[in-house]
Amino acid sequence: MEELAKQFYMDGCIINQWKKTPLYDRFMSTLKEIYDEKLRDGFQLKQKYPHSFDIRPQAFEYDSSIIDILFENDVHKILRDAIGSSAILTHVQIRNAFSYPEKGHSYQMWHRDSYVYGDKGYGNLPPGYKIIFYPSFENPSEPVLSVVKGSHIKMMENQEKDWEVDRNKLHTLNNNNDDFLFFDVSLQHSTEHVKTKNQRIIYNFNHRCFAHRYEDAKKCQEMWNEGCIKYA
Ligand SMILES: O=C(O)CCC(=O)C(=O)O
């Protein structure tokens, strides 16, 4: 546990593997259904960022496996052990992204969701955490997300300087059906160029003091709280 907390503090991210169980199979077939855009009644795919479409109204309500998979994989315990305090699930996004011409950059360039430049803070502070999973369905696996390990504890004084990413600490993930990434959202991260249609599911966790900012997904917080008690 001590080792996990130290590694998470230093790197700002951890990669884990899903357990392969009947629930995992259900989770994967749910994601594939969304990838294929064969949506259940009451759900739509809507554009939020360029070249990509998110499930609406609430991804966590699409299928029970979307939240159950977290508890089957002890995510609540990983979170508790890695950050040393309890965070809550505030929002879930499932997003299909479509290929676009290379022009040298991704659809979400290098950024931190929360950061401090000089004495000014942006986003939720303390920062929240995300779990992101990029399944690979039909196309060859390809780079999907890069992160700069340790960058969450090394912020420059402004965005221009911060933009100079430390290439030695760069870690790039390919989409695959095993690995999920757990990271501190103040870590520098960037999507990779989408060459063929792909998908990601993003779980957003926040410190409890920010729960009121996510009232639209209050049920998601309730389900998280119930799971934490049930699988304590
Ligand atoms: O859509 C993605 O693949 C990346 C999302 C991202 O960068 C973020 O959630 O901050």
The confidence score (pLDDT) of residue 165 equals 78
Q: Is 8 exposed, middle or buried (0-12, 13-18, 19+ CB in 10 A)?
A: buried
Measured in Å, residue 146 CA sits from the centre of ligand 1 at 10
Which tokens in the block code for residue 110?
Answer: 């290098």
Contact 81/122 with Cβ under 8 angstroms?
Answer: no
The confidence score (pLDDT) of residue 103 equals 65
Give the nearest ligand 1 atom to 189 CA: 7
To test the pocket of ligand 1, the residue of 132, 144, 175, 194 to mutate (highest count of ligand atoms within 8 Å of its CB) is 132
- What b-and-e string marks burial along 76-96, b requiring 16 or more CB atoms within 10 Å of the CB? bebbbebbeeebbbbbbbbbb
The number of residues making up the chain comes to 232
Q: Which domains does the chain have, with CATH numbers?
A: 2-230 (2.60.120.620)
C-beta 149 within 6 A of ligand 1: no
The confidence score (pLDDT) of residue 225 equals 94
Give the SS3 label for residue 207.
strand
Give the predicted TM-score (pTM) of the model. Answer: 0.96
CA–CA separation, 134 and 188 (whole Å): 18
C-beta 200 within 6 A of ligand 1: yes
C-beta 192 within 6 A of ligand 1: no
CA–CA separation, 169 and 186 (whole Å): 15
User: What is the DSSP secondary-structure string of 127-188?
Assistant: --EEEEE----SSPP-EEEEEETTGGG---SSHHHHTS--GGGEEEEEP-SSEEEEEETTS-
Give the nearest ligand 1 atom to 49 CA: 1
Q: Look up residue 212 and give its DSSP letter.
A: G
The confidence score (pLDDT) of residue 104 equals 60
Helices (H), the chain: 2-11, 22-35, 65-72, 75-83, 159-162, 218-230
Q: What's the pLDDT tens digit per position in 64-103?
A: 999 999 999 999 999 999 998 789 999 999 999 998 877 6
C-beta 189 within 6 A of ligand 1: yes
CA-nearest residue, atom 3 of ligand 1: 191
C-beta 204 within 6 A of ligand 1: no
Low-confidence residues of the chain, pLDDT below 70? Answer: 103-105
C-beta 91 within 6 A of ligand 1: no
The confidence score (pLDDT) of residue 108 equals 84
The confidence score (pLDDT) of residue 164 equals 81
Q: Is 146 exposed, middle or buried (0-12, 13-18, 19+ CB in 10 A)?
A: middle
The confidence score (pLDDT) of residue 46 equals 97
Q: Is 230 exposed, middle or buried (0-12, 13-18, 19+ CB in 10 A)?
A: exposed
Residue type, 151: S
Q: What's the pLDDT tens digit per position in 149-176?
A: 999 999 988 888 888 877 788 999 999 9
